[in-house]
A = this chain, B = another copy of it.
Amino acid sequence: MTDETDVFHIMYTCRAMRRLKPDPVPEAVLVKLIDAAHQGPTGSNRQNARWIVVRDARQRSRIAELHRSGADAYLAGTPAAQGMEKIRAAVAWQRDHFDQMPALIVASIALAQRPADSFVAGLGAGGSGWPGVQNLLLAARALGLGATITTFALRDRAALKSVLGLPDLVEPFAVLPVGYPRGRFGPLTRRPLNEVLRWDRW
């Protein structure tokens, strides 16, 4: 181990790396990422997060097509102002290279039964999946891989579920392209902490 794998160093330099090389990622490394994700907490330790690693070129191209539609809608609907230029450029680059990402990791939650169709039910259910995604992002960063959370391919949820052959009760919530980065890792930019932290009450 080197300083490079210190958990705080990893967290503070875990940039959203959208520009990736097409070079394949060894299977053993992909397995390491999923194993890290699998360590994330889940409600009542149900371990109900599911991870599909998509390397097959035809499958990647189908998902890339869904991603493109969603990204186009996002870019059309998001104003170019307010410091969004860099994100917009990276999102557009990613859209145009999505089928060349060496691996797409689809994160899903396996539900025991059809949940209440409410915002708070979904927000709560995410607690069994999103923490594992953060483990995956940190593990990727530690192994020198770039990764980002995307959700554009989910805008046509039925089509994505059909491409992946997902059962009705398995709900995808993120698609993470993973590969070797073209750019460099570096510090994150964040607002001052006092804008997001309060003591005792709002």
Contacts and interface: CB of A to CB of B under 8 A. Distances in A.
Interface in A122-157: 122-127, 129-135, 137-139, 142, 148-149, 151, 154, 157
For this complex, into which size category does the number of interface residues on chain A fall? Answer: 35 or more
B53 A39 contact: no
B200 A52 contact: yes
Contact of A201 (B52, B135, B142): B52
Interface of A: 1, 3, 5-8, 10-12, 14, 16, 31, 34-36, 38-41, 43-45, 47, 49-56, 59, 78, 84, 87, 109, 115-127, 129-135, 137-139, 142, 148-149, 151, 154, 157, 163-167, 170-171, 173-174, 188, 190-191, 193, 195-202
